[in-house]
Structure 1
Amino acid sequence: MNESLGVADLLGVLAYAELSAFLQLTEDAGQFAPTLSDRAALSELAVSEFGHFQLVRDKLIELGADPDQAMAPFVEALDGWHTQTRPSGWLEALVKAYVGTGIALDFYREAARHLDPSIARLVDEVVADQERSEFAVERVRAAVAADPPAAGKLALWARRLVGEALSQGQRVAAARPELAQLLVEAVADDQAEISRLFARLTEQHGKRMAALGI
């Protein structure tokens, strides 16, 4: 495997994921936020996502890669995911930002675990979701407490988000084998590590769902 191509692909998909998250959060803030303070808070999160995009873009440039070329192969898949998972309201938008985006970022983190430490640290910094988590959890839990039947609907929405994210990941892996190989080689010939990988992903998803109260 050409690892340099895999690294460029990983940073390219991560850069576009952050750029598209910025655009999605900005749109959601204007369309769905019920109060001005919510609009401001979500906009602030969008600014943070753009900052993450800039970090990854700058790393691509440092490595001698063209950011536009690195991101281009992933535009169709990620835009398709956003189109297929367009929220219909405020709570769906928050669950998407937290659960749907979270599971995709978990895969990027796993793919970077065995790369150069500087790349792994950058990916860890970019995929950290503490601020987004706190914002989504606080508001979704409050809404579910006020309207318990909403929990079931949001749980169904979260399952759909995960399903679409996995489908998107399959399309990306098929189109960019070097990127898929980063994840495969991290667990190659080690069934126990494969099991641990899926256990980690499942655990993280379960924690997010539990935190939301759905």
Structure 2
Amino acid sequence: MTESPASDPEYVAAVVDLLGAIAYGELTAFEHLAEDAASAPTLRDKVALAAMASAEFGHLGRLNERLETLGADPFEAMAPFQAPIDAFHEHTAPKDWLESLVKAYVGDGLARDFYREIAALLDVDTRDLIMESLDSTAHSAFVVEHVRRAIEDDHRVGGRLALWGRRLMGEALSQAQRVAADRDALTALLAGGVDRPGMDLAALGRMFNRLTERHAQRMTELGLSA
């Protein structure tokens, strides 16, 4: 009989790490969307961003419930990722509302893609929960509409936001690499084992190439050059 992944302490530690990182990311997404709502130019925009913030907070609750079923304290699981994620936000503080929208779309999108890549190595239940938590379809449509409209109104905006998007990509990829390298359990998960998939150096290289390609697609959707 094949042993359940939940009976492997190393695997459980990796899942707790991954869920903790995503959960703290959802918490900061909630905080920043709430801040963006406060500075939104219209009442309609305020309501839309407040709804997005509420959705992020709902995802956080489900992730914390899953952590508890694994026997982990959600706050202890999030704690190791507070410093690197906070550092990312400090290094990429937007100067205006448009930059905050691009950051939500590009920066958060890269992080979400990274977590989806790792989720592919997990058991079905955990993978499905992560995929649900990382869904941002409504968020994406809202940002694309507003950024494209701003570029149409003033083409100079496009060049500035394109440079901003490139900076976000560099910071987000650096953060993803640090998270993967600094946590032993995640490193072991990526490497795989006798009875579960993993990634060798070539596969890791392809993964980061896919992250870069998806970033370029997002920039194109926004009407910006990658």
- TM-score tier, shorter chain, comes to over 0.9
> Counterparts in 2 of 1:192-211, with a 5 A limit?
193-194=203-204, 196-211=206-221
Partners of 1:181 and 1:99 in 2: how far apart?
Answer: 28
Establish whether residue 12 from structure 1 lines up as the match of residue 20 from structure 2: yes
Per the alignment, residue 6 of structure 2 pairs with none
Partners of 2:24 and 2:187 in 1: how far apart?
Answer: 17
> Counterparts in 2 of 1:141-152, with a 5 A limit?
141-152=148-159
Match of 1:2, SS?
helix
Per the alignment, residue 133 of structure 2 pairs with 126
Tell me how far 1:184 sits from its aligned partner. 3.9
What is the letter of the counterpart of residue 13 of structure 1? A
Per the alignment, residue 11 of structure 2 pairs with 3
Q: 1:43-81: per-residue Cα shift (whole Å, max 9, x none)? A: 110001101111111110111111011000000111111
Match of 2:93, SS?
coil
What is the letter of the counterpart of residue 40 of structure 2? A
Partners of 1:211 and 1:143 in 2: how far apart?
Answer: 14
* Cα contact 1:33–1:90 (8 A) shared by 2: yes
5+ residue gaps in structure 1? none
Partners of 2:46 and 2:56 in 1: how far apart?
Answer: 15
Partners of 1:184 and 1:206 in 2: how far apart?
Answer: 27
Per the alignment, residue 4 of structure 2 pairs with none
Match of 1:72, SS?
helix
Partners of 2:74 and 2:208 in 1: how far apart?
Answer: 30
Partners of 2:130 and 2:85 in 1: how far apart?
Answer: 18
> Counterparts in 2 of 1:62-101, with a 5 A limit?
62-101=69-108
Sort the Cα spacing of 1:158 and 1:180 in 2 relative to 1 into closer, same or farther, 3 A: farther
* Cα contact 2:121–2:198 (8 A) shared by 1: no
Sort the Cα spacing of 1:60 and 1:109 in 2 relative to 1 into closer, same or farther, 3 A: same
Q: 1:141-171: per-residue Cα shift (whole Å, max 9, x none)? A: 1101111111111011011111111222233
5+ residue gaps in structure 2? 1-8
Tell me how far 1:18 sits from its aligned partner. 0.2
| Larger relative contact order (CA 8 Å, sep ≥ 6) | 1
Establish whether residue 102 from structure 1 lines up as the match of residue 109 from structure 2: yes
What is the letter of the counterpart of residue 188 of structure 1? M
Tell me how far 1:172 sits from its aligned partner. 2.3
Per the alignment, residue 213 of structure 1 pairs with 223
What is the letter of the counterpart of residue 17 of structure 1? G
User: When the two structures are aligned, how many residues end up with a matched partner?
Assistant: 212
TM value normalised by structure 1:
0.93
RMSD of equivalent CA atoms = 1.7
Partners of 2:198 and 2:121 in 1: how far apart?
Answer: 10
Match of 1:47, SS?
helix
Per the alignment, residue 188 of structure 1 pairs with 199
Sort the Cα spacing of 1:174 and 1:190 in 2 relative to 1 into closer, same or farther, 3 A: closer
Tell me how far 1:200 sits from its aligned partner. 2.6
TM value normalised by structure 2:
0.88
Partners of 1:125 and 1:108 in 2: how far apart?
Answer: 12
Match of 2:71, SS?
coil
- Identity fraction in percent: 50
Give 1 or 2: higher helix fraction. Answer: 1
Tell me how far 1:180 sits from its aligned partner. 3.2
Establish whether residue 35 from structure 1 lines up as the match of residue 46 from structure 2: no
Partners of 1:145 and 1:177 in 2: how far apart?
Answer: 47
